[in-house]
Amino acid sequence: MTESPYPRVKRHSGLVRLTHWLNAIVLTGMIASGLQIYVAFRHFGTTVTRLPVPNPFDGYVFPKAVRLGGWLAGGLNWHFALAWPLVITGLAYLGFLIVTGQWRELLFRPRDIKPAIEMQLYYLRLRKEHPPQGKHNALQKGAYTFIVALGAISVLSGFAIYKPVQLSWLTTLFGGFEFARYWHFVAVWLFIAFTIVHVAAVLLADRASLPSMITGWYRGKFPSHD
Amino acid sequence: MTSLDRRDFLRLGLVAGPASLVAGCGWDGGPFVKSRLATMSRLNDWVGENILQSSTRLARVYPVTARSSAMPGYHISRDVPTLEIETPWALEIGGEVRAPTALTLEMLQQLPRITYTVKHHCVEGWTAVATWSGVAFSAVAALVQPTDRARFVRFDSFDNGYYNGWDMASAMHPQTLLAYGFNDRPLMPDHGAPLRLYSPIKLGYKLTKYLTRVTFTATRPGGYWEDQGYPWLGGI
């Protein structure tokens, strides 16, 4: 390996790295067991009326290779067991952001709209110079705020279809049981879309960020983020 | 910007590989994982029963116009279970009670009748709205006077051994019925005639059809699907 011309800087704390990878594993299991559950009733709505919503997977049996649990009961048990580490990891991460004040560097706010557009122009080669930024640029803030919100929506819509009578207020908030189940399913594809963009951005734009999420130390072309 | 080269694909594979191994091939986890999943399921039952569940919160009732045009029925016997015309039927009620008894359909129908239109939730994910008529389980329990030892209720059927175990709070819930009517008509064999358990606070597989016996118990009874891995509480 050749000597890197970049300085070595501390990028991610242990808790962020731990929750990141735990979340990646648990979320994979949640999605796989969720797809197992979906194949038991491959539509949205009641038995006879379909919700007026698009579903490219209507009637589709997901292949065994992407399902976890073997059958409906197995899928349910995996899903409801993994929900614990998913929620605990999420709360630990959010608690850490709040206690350390790091949420300020991650929360997308209205003032980030203009720099986000500038950043997008830069990425599209329509703007020459990299816009000034803090630890994360406005587009990253948008992405990280989106994914935390998506996590919250997934968990809440999950509870809405888990206990539609006891938590009926929550189920109503999502438009009733059938819609809550639909939003819970839509969240899966948003997670997968995010992961594709996220991994592509790491590999194509800043490879040094991958080891930094493992060791905590970053040695790459954007050392000044901190 | 560089394009995704071969090395990148290898790296993607490094990430995706373990993930798909975990998800892989409809794996159910084997006996080791299964018993741990069962433990977690019991934890979730505990949370459902003791934290999320209210003994007085009522499920939403719907106008009859909201009824679904179809209500799937199912049974585990090969054919729809039916009673021989000559066979006298009565619901036996016993176990941890002071006054065990047997009630005929006529006797059950003389008790105060409750009719409601509610949403049915199947564990598979579908729903259907239907109207059910019957007697509150709590009214029948009052007749037999459960002892202090009674903490659960077991419901048995003539559907090839199908049975369910319930927590007492759910059984005594005001919307839990021993139902003999469906959509303004007598209950038919496809929905569990002559008598079935119904409650909008449980998933469909907890609602025993073709009832024969109700037993109050001190220990937790299993259930046909519950014994095979489905969540025991099945409360929603």
Residue-range domain boundaries for chain B: 53-228
Interface list for B 1-60 with A (CB within 8 A): 1-2, 4, 8, 11-12, 15, 18-20, 22-29, 34, 36-38, 40-41, 44, 48, 52-54, 57, 59-60
Q: Helix (H, G, I), strand (E, B), or coil: what is residue B165?
A: strand
pLDDT of residue A36: 98
Q: Rounded CA gap, B204 and B124, in Å?
A: 9
pLDDT of residue A46: 86
B109 touches chain A (CB under 8 A): no
Range of the domain at A199: 9-225
**Number of domains comprising chain A:** 1
The alpha carbons of chain B give a radius of gyration, in whole angstroms, of 22
Say yes or no for a CB contact (<8 Å) between B229 and A77.
Answer: yes
Interface list for B 157-216 with A (CB within 8 A): 200-201
pLDDT of residue A221: 85
Domain annotation covers residue A34:
yes
Q: Measured between beta carbons, which residues in chain A are less than 8 angstroms from residue B125?
A: 37-38, 40-41, 181
For the four alpha carbons of B67, B69, B74 and B80, in that order, the dihedral sign comes to positive
- The CATH number of the domain where A174 resides is what? 1.20.950.20
Confidence band for A225, pLDDT divided at 50, 70 and 90: low
Confidence band for A4, pLDDT divided at 50, 70 and 90: confident
Domain annotation covers residue A1:
no
B129 closest CA partner among B121, B137, B120, B138: B120
Chain A: nearest CA to B231, how far in angstroms? 8
Region of poorest pLDDT, from A64-73, A120-129, A182-191, B73-82: A120-129
Say yes or no for a CB contact (<8 Å) between A70 and B4.
Answer: no
Residue-wise pLDDT for A131-167, tens only, equals 887 778 898 899 999 999 999 999 999 999 999 999 9
Q: Helix (H, G, I), strand (E, B), or coil: what is residue B114?
A: strand
Identify from A42, A44, A47 which residue to disrupt to test chain B contact, counting B C-beta atoms within 10 A and taking the largest count. Answer: A47
A198 closest CA partner among B107, A206, B87: A206
CB atoms within 10 A of CB B50: 10
Phi/psi-derived region of residue A175, left when phi > 0, alpha when psi is between -120 and 50, beta in every other case: left
Structure tokens at A189: 């594809």
B153 closest CA partner among B172, B178, B175: B172
SS3 content of chain B, % helix, strand, coil (to 5): 30, 25, 45
Q: For Cα atoms A131, A135, A136, give the angle at the middle one, nearest 5 degrees.
A: 60
Minimum Cα–Cα distance from B56: chain A residue? A166
Say yes or no for a CB contact (<8 Å) between A78 and B37.
Answer: yes
Positions in chain B whose pLDDT score sits under 70: 1-29
Helical residues (DSSP H) of chain A, grouped into ranges: 14-38, 72-100, 103-106, 113-123, 138-162, 168-173, 177-205, 209-215
Can you name the CATH fold of B53-228? Answer: Sulfite Oxidase; Chain A, domain 2 (3.90.420)
Q: For Cα atoms B234, B235, B236, give the angle at the middle one, nearest 5 degrees.
A: 120
Domain annotation covers residue A4:
no
ipTM: 0.90
Domain annotation covers residue A3:
no
Region of poorest pLDDT, from A37-41, A75-79, B20-24, B199-203: B20-24
Q: Rounded CA gap, A3 and B189, in Å?
A: 79
Minimum Cα–Cα distance from A49: chain B residue? B68
Domain annotation covers residue A165:
yes
pLDDT of residue A183: 98
DSSP state of B230: S
